[in-house]
């Protein structure tokens, strides 16, 4: 099923071919002088995020997009968010200052799990940081419930950042670029034999910084990664890999919507500050004078240091048995000082600034994952079986519950011509330690009972123990869960080039982030997420395509009701989504390569859901969750012409709701990018333009939809890359 297109690409690539069940002594380095297709539709390779069985994406009863390092560079994706948005149906944005958030298949935020090399650290809002894309070998996106592989959470999907690892071929890369708003970016990577028999290395470093288009929204990212691989015997390989990330962000939280009045749920119009829970805005708009203004306090910051280290043992125990053991340690330290709410008040003609937030995080995560795989026959038919176990200890120290003034000085400012002021004179206080211990056991199996039919499934059992210890005299809190999750799918090989599949998957997710659970949530069980999916995958004469229909339901959503005048919380709510996704990559005459995709979520809404507003409850049944578009589509062209390479791309995101009330909508938008590159020997220079139509749009809503994160306008970048 290898698919190669001589008309696409600019580089000869080195491919290390390792069959899923071959022993290390069967590994051979093959130098392929050709041009590899560059597309998110990858069917002839194992996808780490979809299964631990090592089967190709073609034989997986699930939807997975792969954004390779080469594709990241081709599209000029500088950050993880930009790279992930090239996958079918994916949208992203930084909703609260500097934390990336993603949406797909009708779900967003903490319903999407983010991992590094298959290890899940916390929910998105607890662990995701802005990342330069240079360090990744690839990014994989699995759609739908993923608890089988990654534990609680992951109802909407999973994103996996895959690190670069050593191989036998010497490869190197140096890249540098400059772009609008004093943006600079550099990266260097080198790997190959270390000069000692059977020892190989990989080193990568990157740095990027920018002033940002919005005033006072600059950032500085530094990352480094190193890895050693030692082929200890013909059957055993040892790998040590570490990455270190440091970021410093001057946060831009969003631009306030300006409006003339509000209309409440009874249809009455008044001139006052809006309630995002109940009101619709009259003549809502972005004042052009605010396009580059930052309403955050001057002494704001978001600074994080992250590290991730793992030691991997891969061993072929026999012709049929193989073992993989992975021990890992991860750390995170975060300091945060920001004003997170800036809301327009038409009565006073002022912007009211509130929700000053101080965050301290100090996390230590230690774990071990062991997989034992067997490949052979069952009742005379091919079968591959895997059994695994995981232990994870995650200790998180916080300043949760610390009290301080909630507004900067001054608290209220004019729309323009204001003094940003400073935040309250307060330092963080360590208030709580939350320890989450997880023990999991799981199995996966692929069995071919008859020719052209495969059954692929798995089960996972977890024991999750959460302990909350206060440093300031509050009562201790303990909670345990024991979810069972899994996936079952069938694949029918209709032809040698076409697979049809159907699958059912199940996930589990707490009503709140585990680190944030309180005594008031003690009686509630995990929410259940289920998905039914049918689809097709094909690779015919250089054309790769995938199609999927999905139906997802998250059950036991925490909702509120009034019974005999008393507000009661119960788990009777649900959130559902239904839709279709399509992706295809193909060649056109004239050496054009086309990569296009579309996702239509025709149903994305709450069912039987009442939101607790403090003084009462209000029904959200039938409403669409915020930041979830019904339609997302992308189109990307590549045209090589001798030493020149031309690319062009368009991306469309449909209208989204800005809050649960659905009283504020974010307009649909379409952006256009293009690049021209020239290569000589091993070097390439590229001129790239982004958002060429200068589209003004909101990439994400926050603050209940009363403030939106505006995307950058038209920009240009000049970069150079040297590869060997």
**SS3 sequence, 431-464?**
CEEEEEEEEEEEEEEEEEEECCEEEEEEEEEEEE
pLDDT at 599 over 70: yes
Distance of alpha carbon 506 from alpha carbon 524, whole angstroms: 19
The pLDDT-based confidence of 451 (bands split at 50, 70, 90) is very high
For the cut 50, the answer to whether the pLDDT of residue 11 exceeds it is no
Triad 645, 646, 650: Cα angle to 5°: 145
Q: How far is CA 201 from CA 28, 193, 461, in A?
A: 17, 6, 36
Q: What is the pLDDT of residue 614?
A: 59
Nearest to 436 by CA among 387, 367, 336, 388: 367
Residue 347, both tokens: 């009565």
Distance CA 553, CA 281 (A): 31
Beta-bridge partner residues of 656: 666
Question: Which CATH number do you get for residue 545?
Answer: 2.40.170.20
What angle (nearest 5°) sits at the alpha carbon of residue 505, between those of residues 499 and 510? 150
Show the tokens assigned to 40.
Answer: 């998110």
Q: What is the mean pLDDT of residues 101-122?
A: 88
2 domain-assigned: no
pLDDT digits (tens, 9 = 90+) for 239-256: 999 999 999 999 998 999
Does 213 map to a domain?
Answer: yes
Average pLDDT in the 355-383 region?
95
User: ω into residue 410 within 30 of 0, thus cis?
Assistant: yes
Helix, strand, coil shares, percent, the chain, to 5: 5, 60, 35
147-184 pLDDT tens trace? 888 888 778 899 999 999 999 999 999 999 999 999 99
Assign 10 a pLDDT band (cuts: 50, 70, 90). Answer: very low
Q: pLDDT: is 556 or 399 the higher one?
A: 399
pLDDT of residue 113: 87
Six-digit token string for 166: 């050593």
Model confidence band, residue 12 (pLDDT cutoffs 50, 70, 90): very low
pLDDT confidence of residue 129: 80
Q: Is residue 357 part of a domain?
A: yes
Decide: helix, strand or coil at residue 553: strand
Q: Is pLDDT at 25 greater than 60 in this prediction?
A: no
Mean pLDDT score, 340-345: 94
Task: Report if residue 494 sits inside a domain.
Answer: yes
Most confident range (mean pLDDT) of 43-47, 418-422, 589-593 is 418-422
The residue written with tokens 């779900």 in the block is 107
pLDDT of residue 38: 64
The residue with greater pLDDT, 105 or 560, is: 105
pLDDT of 521 > 50? The answer is yes
Residue 5 inside a domain? The answer is no
- pLDDT tens by residue, 300-319: 999 999 999 999 999 999 99
Nearest by Cα to 241 from 131, 329, 170 = 329
Predicted confidence at residue 339, as pLDDT, reads 94
Residue 216 included in any domain: yes
pLDDT of residue 434: 93
Q: What is the structure's pLDDT at 124? A: 67
The pLDDT of residue 616 is 67
pLDDT at 45: 85
Is pLDDT above 70 for 670?
yes
**pLDDT score for 328:** 97
Identify whether 7 is part of a domain. Answer: no
> So what's the pLDDT on residue 655?
96
| pLDDT of the residue at 701 | 87
Q: What is the pLDDT of residue 170?
A: 95
Task: Tell me the pairing of strands 99-104 and 412-413.
Answer: unpaired
Total domains in the fold of the chain: 1
pLDDT of residue 449: 97
Q: Does residue 530 surpass a pLDDT of 60? A: yes
| Residue 631 binned pLDDT confidence (cut-offs 50, 70, 90) | very high
**Listed range (19-28, 116-125, 332-341, 537-546) with the worst mean pLDDT:** 19-28
- pLDDT tens per residue across span 185-197: 999 999 999 999 9
The per-residue pLDDT for 572 is 66
Mean pLDDT of 338-367: 94
**Contact by Cβ (8 Å): 685, 718:** yes
pLDDT tens digit sequence for 246-284: 999 999 989 999 999 999 988 999 999 999 888 999 999
Q: How many whole angstroms separate alpha carbon 198 and alpha carbon 164? A: 18
* Residue 6 in domain: no
Q: What is the arithmetic mean of pLDDT over 696-704? A: 86
In terms of Cα–Cα distance, which of 164, 325, 132 is closest to 241? 164
Contact present, 64 and 487 (Cβ < 8 Å):
no
Residue 17 binned pLDDT confidence (cut-offs 50, 70, 90): very low
- Helix/strand/coil for 703: helix
Report the pLDDT averaged over residues 528-554.
Answer: 95
Domain that holds residue 627: 13-723
Q: How many residues does the chain have?
A: 724
């Amino acid at each position: 099923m290898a698919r190669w297109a001589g008309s696409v690409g600019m580089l000869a690539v080195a491919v290390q071919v390792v069959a899923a069940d071959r022993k290390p002594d069967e590994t051979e380095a093959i130098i392929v002088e050709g041009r590899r297709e560059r597309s998110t539709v990858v069917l002839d390779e194992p996808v780490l995020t979809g299964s631990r069985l090592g089967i190709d994406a073609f034989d997986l009863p699930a939807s997975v997009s792969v954004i390779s390092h080469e594709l990241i560079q081709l599209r000029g994706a500088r950050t993880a968010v930009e790279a992930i948005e090239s996958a079918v149906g994916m949208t992203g944005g930084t909703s609260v200052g500097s934390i990336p958030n993603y949406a797909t298949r009708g779900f967003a935020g903490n319903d999407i799990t983010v991992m590094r090399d298959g290890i899940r650290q916390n929910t998105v809002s607890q662990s995701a940081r802005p990342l330069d894309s240079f360090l990744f070998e690839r990014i994989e996106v699995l759609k739908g419930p993923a608890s089988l592989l990654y534990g609680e959470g992951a109802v909407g999907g999973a994103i996996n950042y895959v690190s670069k690892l050593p191989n036998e071929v010497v490869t190197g890369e140096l890249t540098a670029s400059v772009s609008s708003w004093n943006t600079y970016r550099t990266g260097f990577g080198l790997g190959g034999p270390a000069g000692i028999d059977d020892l190989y290395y990989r080193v990568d470093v990157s740095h990027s910084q920018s002033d940002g288009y919005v005033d006072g929204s600059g950032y500085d990212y530094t990352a480094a990664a190193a890895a050693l691989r030692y082929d200890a015997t013909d059957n055993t390989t040892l790998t040590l890999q570490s990455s270190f990330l440091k970021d410093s962000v001057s946060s831009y939280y969003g631009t306030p919507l300006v409006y003339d009045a509000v209309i409440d749920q009874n249809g009455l119009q008044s001139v006052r500050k809006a309630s995002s829970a109940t009101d619709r805005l009259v003549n809502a708009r972005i004042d052009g004078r605010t396009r580059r203004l930052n309403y955050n306090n001057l002494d704001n910051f978001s600074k994080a240091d992250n590290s991730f280290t793992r030691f991997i043992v891969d061993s072929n125990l026999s012709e049929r048995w193989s073992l993989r053991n992975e021990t890992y340690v991860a750390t995170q330290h975060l300091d945060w000082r920001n004003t997170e709410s800036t809301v327009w008040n038409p009565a006073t003609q002022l912007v009211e600034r509130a929700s000053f937030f101080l965050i301290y995080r100090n996390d230590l995560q230690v774990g071990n994952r062991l997989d034992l795989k067997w490949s052979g026959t069952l009742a005379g038919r091919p079968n591959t079986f895997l059994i695994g176990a995981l232990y994870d200890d995650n200790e998180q120290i916080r300043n949760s519950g610390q009290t301080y003034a909630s507004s900067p000085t001054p608290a209220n400012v004019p729309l323009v011509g204001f003094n940003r002021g400073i935040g309250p004179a307060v330092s963080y206080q360590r208030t709580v330690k939350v320890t989450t211990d997880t023990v999991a056991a799981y199995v996966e199996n692929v069995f071919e009972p008859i020719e052209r039919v495969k059954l692929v499934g798995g089960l996972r059992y977890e024991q999750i123990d959460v302990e909350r210890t206060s440093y300031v005299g509050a009562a201790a809190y303990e909670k345990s869960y024991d979810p069972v999750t899994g996936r079952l799918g069938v694949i029918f090989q209709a032809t040698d080039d076409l697979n049809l599949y159907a699958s059912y998957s199940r996930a589990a997710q707490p009503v709140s982030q585990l680190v944030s659970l309180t005594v008031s949530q003690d009686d509630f069980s995990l929410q259940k997420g289920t998905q039914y999916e049918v689809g097709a995958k094909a690779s015919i004469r250089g054309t790769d395509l995938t199609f999927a229909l999905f139906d997802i339901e998250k059950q036991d959503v925490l909702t509120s009701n009034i019974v005999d005048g008393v507000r009661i919380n119960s788990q009777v709510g649900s959130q559902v989504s239904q839709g279709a996704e399509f992706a295809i990559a193909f060649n056109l005459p004239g050496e054009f390569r086309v990569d296009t995709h579309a996702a239509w979520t025709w149903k994305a809404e709450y069912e039987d859901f009442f939101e607790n507003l403090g003084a009462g409850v209000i029904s959200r049944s039938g409403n669409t969750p915020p930041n979830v578009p019904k339609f997302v589509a992308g189109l990307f062209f590549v045209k090589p012409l001798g030493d020149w390479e031309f690319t062009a791309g368009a991306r469309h995101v449909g209208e989204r709701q800005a809050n649960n009330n659905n009283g504020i909508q974010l307009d649909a938008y379409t952006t256009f990018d293009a690049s021209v590159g020239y290569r000589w020997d091993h070097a390439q220079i590229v001129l790239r333009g982004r958002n060429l139509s200068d589209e003004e749009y909101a990439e994400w809503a926050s603050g209940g939809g009363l403030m939106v994160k505006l995307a950058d306008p038209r920009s240009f970048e000049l970069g150079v890359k040297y590869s060997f």
